[in-house]
Amino acid sequence: MDSSTQPGPTRRRGHRWRHRAACAAYPSLEWIEPSSPHIGTCRSICRACPVRRECLAVALDTREPWGIWGGLDPRERRELVPHQGTLTR
Ligand code: SF4
């Protein structure tokens, strides 16, 4: 599968760990909208993902405002690093 069609963080280029991302096997799940009916399934997949730590680190470093990364939604990530807030686009 081309990385541009993979869900969530696997879309990002330049991260070698993305090739081990568990979500790559689930392109039909909604990884961007945390309130989707797929959220529980996404979180379960993240819990078993071998690169969960790397994924979450990128989301925290970039203040990613969308989607599930490392099993956490944007609100949960902001709670981990509350002083960072979010970037405005
Ligand atoms: S932790 Fe979740 S969102 Fe991140 S790479 Fe793994 S499966 Fe994908």
Q: Is any ligand 1 atom within 6 A of the Cβ of residue 69?
A: yes
Question: Would the annotation count 55 as a binding residue?
Answer: yes
Looking at residue 11, its pLDDT comes to 53
- Contact by Cβ (8 Å): 26, 48: no
The pTM assigned to this predicted structure is 0.78
Q: Pull the structure tokens for residue 55.
A: 């994924």
Determine the distance separating the centroid of ligand 1 and the alpha carbon of 46, expressed in angstroms.
5
Question: Would the annotation count 23 as a binding residue?
Answer: yes
Residues in the chain: 89
Q: Kindly compute the dihedral angle of the four CA atoms of residues 35, 39, 40, 46, in this order, to the nearest 10 degrees.
A: -140
Q: Is any ligand 1 atom within 6 A of the Cβ of residue 58?
A: no
Whether the per-residue pLDDT at 87 is higher than 80: the answer is no
* pLDDT tens digit sequence for 19-50: 999 999 998 998 888 778 889 999 999 999 99
* pLDDT tens digit sequence for 48-86: 999 999 999 999 999 999 999 999 999 999 999 877 655
What CA–CA distance (Å, rounded) separates 10 from 24?
7
